[in-house]
Structure 1
């Protein structure tokens, strides 16, 4: 009954209210690091790749990075925390990938021309994305608008690149009036294998991707409206050069219906209710790989239904309250079909058909005590029910003594944020405690091959929940033309989930190094900081600098894997009237703190130079924008520490894009 109840009554609030009707004094999520992805090309100050790859756009958020397994679908990393410890949503909707190898993060099922922003909750705000994971990441899509007079606008873009980094065609059309708004967008991208800095072709880095999105709004009254959304995303022939298999197809269907109302009273209250669903299909295959010991197919699927309700209002002039309820039902599966030569095919369920039902609620109070001091206190709780529905999967896992792998979990999170903004410095101190339920792979995974360390991984239904304790501080200072910021942090995680080698088990994957079970370590911690500076030298010339550093290890003093080294980005920009120029340098130090048990080795540092030039032309009342981007100007042979398999990145490359706005 619980499952049916959740599916039928799933109801919470837009994490980022991307609607033109939001009043300046209305309640919104605060303290988020957000990067805006402008559709207007005259405002775009990003590289060509960032315009078209959400993964690279995420890297612009302070504290964020990404893991590359190929030239497609980068896995987000935030302050050293990978996808297992992140709650990633799209407009507040929960979406779960259908790939056991994490080839399809949520970011892979959208395109940047239908994104308005990407926000990361670094501390207490991670709960605003519907979970109690240490970090929350929300992708906000562009919405239709209401206007007094009917308007019809649109954009188009076409880009050509060399060195296999991808061509793109994209566009959007918007119609708006006082009662109805509609936005339709589409994009197509493709890429051929690129060459590295030594001129060698990096095989299996090609892909093709089609994305279509529609958003419609209808005004019921002056202060309420309904909104419908649909996204179709199809990708095919996707190479993953760092993995033993590629992807023949990845499909996403995402849809939602929501109701919004602003109550015209002194409390300035806002209500949003949304119901949503999504269907993900993902098929891995190795038919294009040479010298395959045994051909296999690995299809997978994920279906999610959910919803949320959110209500917020002012309590007098100094306090704001937000309450939220949300829930979801997720069903996932993944199979492996093996085809031995001259033998009967074999079958295995790498993700036995399993369901996760989750629902939760939260309350947040923001109080402005003085003009310079405000606090935010919050609490959230989630209930999860995990069930293995496959009889075949139950038989598989019973081999290891797990007779009843179903489990129920109740998680709690809470925290306090103090913001003090005197005339000299702005300070923010965040404290949070949270719990994380293990993922489907960590609970029920069955011989999941990890190409980084060469081990098969086994799930463990008896894993304890992780307990995370977070402390972060941010200091900002603004002079007339200079802005400075510093943000140190620490994550301390009890019962840290990690793969531990079991020497008594035989490997399933041909040529594998062994088998690991997910186990709880006593603890692990990640600490580090971000620092940035901006200097506006003249009205036209500015300099930007960003630096980030991470240090992490477990209770045995062993470095945690997938921790990026010290990195610095330096950018000089010139903007005047219709012209824009940029010179950028990406710098990474050596990474000598590695985890060889996870297959890591030491990584050399690098310095990469990039440049961009852009010109906007007026064509009547319309705009034509021409942009040129050149990257890796010195044709450097390099790879990042978070690039699996030490696969080199592209050598000298670039793109020419032409955009039109009417």
Structure 2
């Protein structure tokens, strides 16, 4: 192992804080017994953790204990205080931080800003990386440094795959790999992963592949009547959650080249999802193919550090009715609830052969960031981002009223971002550290003219949209100011203010048809309602203040308690109001309905969110016979209100807590965890959101490591408790889901019942 002894200068701290993430530095510079990434840097000066503290931070070891129980990378975050998950497909949950979710978060996968190319957001960023390929996870909540944020208001999530490893000098070539497999009883889920890498001292090549497949899962009890999913479809038991099956595969090839303190890496990735059911959407994913190219550079110099990246991602996405939803739509030319009758096509008996919906996205980005050492006290981070995004969303004619033309939902949609930022961090004294940053973004959006299925299909909407000025440019400003005071080795206090800005996404601005069927295809909330866009939307501007008190023992090993209250006010919050003009579904009755699905238009209003996150850990005791016992827990509360209307914000997670007891004895690690969730009784009246009851779940996990083997077993929801997850959404998993009347309102997607899982991993 080569060791570089660095004198205690401010450059030492600059290197230790490179890219504003200590975990990221560890991935770049830390060594292991068999391989090196960059030469280890021994720091002899007292350092400090960069601002702000992360809400959650996981390394490869932490992830290894979680991945057997899930194929959904977003679910790795469920133990992080302040983070909750919107229900979606089996590998596509949407994380929420303190009540703000989806596009309101900046989510980076291997440094790439990925975008969901779907009107239902069925392919969110974290669905593009399998848990077996995750090396580190970091969550920044609320006040995020401008060097990590941009075009978001809720926080930042960084997920990275392993960095390249290199052979140590004089030790010959490095060859290593991993094989793993798992089984989960609920849904009969199976999966496997494989990785292999070869490296010398300067060149590293690695391959990683994974696959997972599951049938519909079962709830902890019946929540509907047993019977045919739909006419001509298979049988579903009363506890079987329709449209929750999935199949996915991911492959990646990474090549890294290292020279002294410089690292260049090229990653190529391919994802294929032939099917993924959606229990809270009216359609299913019947195909998602993505290809990614990601080129990056990292280097350290006498003056600081530099990072550059260029990437491109293409997505081809398809939606249709899956196995549990009706394929042949409509009887013998009889008008449906939207008044669509349409012509009788040859051989179709007046029925439509499903509803094909296709999307193509192309996402190209370039970023540059430098950490400049100005003095012993000061570091300046400067950089910029450019992102160019193109989207086509079209629905081919399939008969009935959906003919004879192709319906263009978004044609040549454009969303381009140009950003620059500067961030100054200063260590004034050993106790005081401050950070101040500014970021400016220009977000330019446009879309071409559209067309309906026929000249009479949403003709008024089509004419108005095509005649409107669709070119929009937003000038957005972010500000972040943070400070940390650490009066002693056992306590620190962090506080700050941030202004964060997000421009609307393409669907919020450019979805144009008020036809009921078309509106039900625009739904990023999983609530069963229909939505239409708004060309006049303004960017959301969030003002957040928060503070964190962190008490702990001097070594942060025996005990710790962290409390974070926060408050956020959002100007021009993109909420929704019921529509009363336009298509046949935007009627006066739509304004007053309280017991059914409704039709909504995206609008700017306001939002107020406040709450508290609490996390703690304690070493409980050690015995020779029983090993080491430790406890940890977290508690989160968020309250969301729309001051403009007086309504509650949609999908706010109620008070919830997790308590865990962990035992380590030799090679064994055993965990008992209690998950507690309160009633959700503050719901959105605008969306006719349904209340949920509180519940408690017990989970058991155990792992055993021996040389190159790792075994994981566990039981989720030990007592097979039935519950409705507060963010699970409306149940639309079976039947004639596109009908405005055939899907029962008020049934929620239930949580997963008891599931026993086991997995094995072999490394070499």
Q: TM-score with structure 1 length normalisation?
A: 0.91
Q: Does 1:195 align with 2:218?
A: yes
Map Cα deviations across residues 22-74 of structure 1 (whole Å, 9 max, x no partner). 85769996425265555559x84436324x32111122333211101343300
1:239 alignment partner in structure 2: 277
Q: CA deviation at 1:374?
A: 0.5
Counterpart among 597, 608, 626 of residue 711 in structure 2: 626
Partner of 2:507, secondary structure, is: helix
Partner of 1:552, secondary structure, is: strand
Q: CA deviation at 1:258?
A: 2.1
Counterpart among 545, 561, 575 of residue 664 in structure 2: 575
Q: CA deviation at 1:108?
A: 0.6
Map Cα deviations across residues 188-230 of structure 1 (whole Å, 9 max, x no partner). 10101122112622221111111112221112x3122321011
Native 8 Å contact 1:126 1:132 kept in 2: no
1:7 alignment partner in structure 2: none
Native 8 Å contact 1:76 1:83 kept in 2: yes
Q: CA deviation at 1:649?
A: 1.9
- 1:513-592 map, 5 Å: 513-521=597-605, 523-539=606-622, 540-555=628-643, 556-592=645-681
The verdict on how the C-alpha distance between 1:35 and 1:415 changes in structure 2, with shifts beyond 3 A counting, is closer
Native 8 Å contact 1:430 1:472 kept in 2: yes
Map Cα deviations across residues 266-312 of structure 1 (whole Å, 9 max, x no partner). x3x11122111001121010153137445211111110111111111
Counterpart among 176, 196, 200 of residue 199 in structure 2: 176
Residues in 1 aligned to 2:672 and 2:208: alpha-carbon distance in whole angstroms: 31
Native 8 Å contact 2:362 2:391 kept in 1: yes
Q: Does 1:647 align with 2:749?
A: yes
Native 8 Å contact 1:32 1:120 kept in 2: no
Map Cα deviations across residues 429-488 of structure 1 (whole Å, 9 max, x no partner). 021112221111111013442385544322112112222101111111013722101011
2:162 alignment partner in structure 1: 142
The verdict on how the C-alpha distance between 1:315 and 1:633 changes in structure 2, with shifts beyond 3 A counting, is same
RMSD: 2.7
Residues in 2 aligned to 1:80 and 1:629: alpha-carbon distance in whole angstroms: 30
Residues in 2 aligned to 1:287 and 1:535: alpha-carbon distance in whole angstroms: 48
Partner of 1:296, secondary structure, is: coil
Higher alpha-carbon deviation: 171-180 or 239-248: 171-180
1:302 alignment partner in structure 2: 361
Q: CA deviation at 1:13?
A: 6.6
1:492 alignment partner in structure 2: 569
Q: Does 1:258 align with 2:296?
A: yes
Counterpart among 688, 698, 715 of residue 599 in structure 1: 688
Counterpart among 379, 385, 403 of residue 468 in structure 2: 403
- 1:104-119 map, 5 Å: 104-119=123-138
Residues in 1 aligned to 2:713 and 2:142: alpha-carbon distance in whole angstroms: 38
Q: Does 1:218 align with 2:257?
A: yes
Counterpart among 537, 546, 550 of residue 463 in structure 1: 537
Native 8 Å contact 1:285 1:296 kept in 2: yes
Native 8 Å contact 2:486 2:493 kept in 1: yes
Residues in 2 aligned to 1:23 and 1:345: alpha-carbon distance in whole angstroms: 67
2:706 alignment partner in structure 1: 617
Partner of 1:31, secondary structure, is: coil
Residues in 2 aligned to 1:659 and 1:182: alpha-carbon distance in whole angstroms: 21
Select the structure that is richer in strand: 1
Residues in 2 aligned to 1:14 and 1:333: alpha-carbon distance in whole angstroms: 36
Native 8 Å contact 2:257 2:264 kept in 1: yes
Q: CA deviation at 1:81?
A: 0.4
- 1:11-50 map, 5 Å: 16=24, 18-20=27-29, 21=38, 23=41, 30-33=51-54, 35=56, 39=60, 44-46=64-66, 48-50=68-70
Q: TM-score with structure 2 length normalisation?
A: 0.79
Name the larger-Rg structure: 2
Partner of 2:92, secondary structure, is: coil
The verdict on how the C-alpha distance between 1:421 and 1:49 changes in structure 2, with shifts beyond 3 A counting, is same
- 1:255-334 map, 5 Å: 255-263=293-301, 265=302, 267=303, 269-286=304-321, 288=323, 289-290=325-326, 292-293=329-330, 294=352, 295-334=354-393
Native 8 Å contact 1:14 1:91 kept in 2: no
Residues in 1 aligned to 2:310 and 2:402: alpha-carbon distance in whole angstroms: 48
Partner of 1:597, secondary structure, is: coil
Partner of 2:686, secondary structure, is: helix
The verdict on how the C-alpha distance between 1:318 and 1:375 changes in structure 2, with shifts beyond 3 A counting, is same
1:427 alignment partner in structure 2: 493
The verdict on how the C-alpha distance between 1:453 and 1:655 changes in structure 2, with shifts beyond 3 A counting, is closer
Residues in 2 aligned to 1:107 and 1:497: alpha-carbon distance in whole angstroms: 23
Native 8 Å contact 1:13 1:273 kept in 2: no
Q: CA deviation at 1:171?
A: 2.1
Map Cα deviations across residues 338-359 of structure 1 (whole Å, 9 max, x no partner). 5344984453222232111111
Native 8 Å contact 2:629 2:664 kept in 1: yes
The verdict on how the C-alpha distance between 1:23 and 1:356 changes in structure 2, with shifts beyond 3 A counting, is farther
Partner of 2:120, secondary structure, is: coil
Q: CA deviation at 1:260?
A: 2.6
Residues in 1 aligned to 2:319 and 2:584: alpha-carbon distance in whole angstroms: 21
Partner of 1:422, secondary structure, is: strand
Residues in 1 aligned to 2:698 and 2:397: alpha-carbon distance in whole angstroms: 45
1:85 alignment partner in structure 2: 104
The verdict on how the C-alpha distance between 1:486 and 1:34 changes in structure 2, with shifts beyond 3 A counting, is closer
Residues in 2 aligned to 1:383 and 1:103: alpha-carbon distance in whole angstroms: 27
Residues in 1 aligned to 2:92 and 2:598: alpha-carbon distance in whole angstroms: 28
Q: Does 1:413 align with 2:422?
A: no
